[in-house]
Every structure is written in C-alpha cells, then in structure tokens.
Amino acid sequence: MPVLDTLNAKFAGAFTTSAFRDNHRVLVSAEKTPVVLFPLLKCLKDELGFDFLAELGGIDYLGYPDATDRFCVVYGLTNTTTGERLFVKAFANDPGPELPSVVELWRGADWMEREVYDMYGVRFPGHPDLRRILMPSEYTAHPLRKDYPLRGHGERHNFPTVTRADS
C-alpha cells in the first residue's frame, strides 16, 4: 500500500505491518504507543485522508497463542474518498493500561472509547468525559476481560440496596 510507504518514511521503525485477506494492519507495540500512536493517527487523518473512524474496539489477548502484550485497541480507519481501509492496532499492558484519546481527531471515538474503558479498563487520557457507559457506575470489574468469569464475580448481588424511603 502506498499509504504504508508514506508512514514508513515519517515514523521509521515505530511500527510493524501485517496483512490478512484484505485487512492491512499497522501494529504499534506497548512501548511505542505513548509517543507514537497519536501523531501516527493524526498523520493518517490529516495528511493521508483517513477521515472516517469506522470502528474502535478492544481485545484482551490473555491466553492467546504467541501473544506478548495483553490489551489491544483496534482503530478501523476508512478513507471516504478512495474507500481504502487500514487497521491500526495499539497495545497496552497491565498495570494501568493507557492509550491516548483520539476524540479530538474523530468525535465518533467518544462513546467507543468509553466502551473500551468500561469493558476492559483501558484508560484514555485526554478523553473529555471518561465514565462507564454500559455498566452501572458502582461496578468495579471489567466484564469483557478474559479472566472475568461468565457468571460474574457476584457484583450484582453486592450492590447497596436502595429502599423507597431513602430514594
């Protein structure tokens, strides 16, 4: 892809690439993400025309064969003029996984980042309003992590009871 050549010239050595079927991917490792990820995405958006953030989702690689980093956020970018697609995979590790927020590049990332935070506990510094979106705010765990059991830790049964008198 010509896009990857441009990226290589600008961010030499900061990422690796891979491809499978028609999905081209740019992988940014956990050591490089704090410095490289935001400029790389900004370059993709402003200079290379990837103006549409089609998808942003988290993955927990705990127990995955040959995985080295634990958390990953996938940015599915689309160029609405040419129809090209590119996936940027950024990794983060325990404890306190963090990735820079991209809300100022794409406003569509707002709820999607909140969802990743809610489900995986990955924080996004720079997000204007990073709160839980699906689970109640009293919830302490992150349900889509691989070490979270299917039947839950029992949080639901331990919620404080609100009676009619104090509501």
Partner 1 sequence: MPIEAAAPVEDLAGADQEFLYTLNFGPQHPATHTTLRLILTLDGETIVKAVPDIGYLHSGFEKLGEDLDFNQYVTIVDRMNYISPVANEVAWHHTIEKLIGIEITPRCKYIRTILAELARISDHLLCVGAAALDLGALTAFLYAFNAREKVYNIIESTAGQRFHPSYTRVGGLMADISDDVVDLIRDFVKTFPKVHADIVRLLNRNRIFIDRTKGIGVLSKEDAINTSCSGPVARASGVVRDLRKDEPYLAYKELAGSFKIVCGKGGDCYNRYLVRMGEMLESWKIIHAAVENLPTGPVNVDLNDKLTIPDKSATYRSIEGLIQHFELFMWNRRWETPTEEVYGAHETANGELGFYVVADGGGKAFRARTRPPSFIHFAVFPMMMEGHQISDVPAVLGSLNIIAAELDR
Q: For binding to partner 1 (CB under 8 A), which residues are involved? A: 20-21, 23, 51-55, 57-60, 64-66, 74, 76, 80, 83, 85, 87, 106-112, 115, 119, 133-136, 143-144, 150
Q: Which is nearer to partner 1, 19 or 35 (CB)?
A: 19
The CB-of-23 to partner 1 minimum distance in angstroms stands at: 6
The CB-of-7 to partner 1 minimum distance in angstroms stands at: 19
Spatial separation of the C-alpha atoms in residues 138 and 160, rounded to whole Å: 9
Q: Which is nearer to partner 1, 10 or 138 (CB)?
A: 138
Q: Which is nearer to partner 1, 57 or 126 (CB)?
A: 57
Spatial separation of the C-alpha atoms in residues 166 and 164, rounded to whole Å: 6
Q: Which is nearer to partner 1, 4 or 54 (CB)?
A: 54
Buried b / exposed e across 8-38, counting CB within 10 Å, b at 16+? Answer: eeebeebbeeeeeeeebbbbbbbebbeebbb
Quick one: DSSP state of residue 156? Answer: G
Are the CB atoms for 3 and 86 separated by under 8 Å? yes
The CB-of-111 to partner 1 minimum distance in angstroms stands at: 4
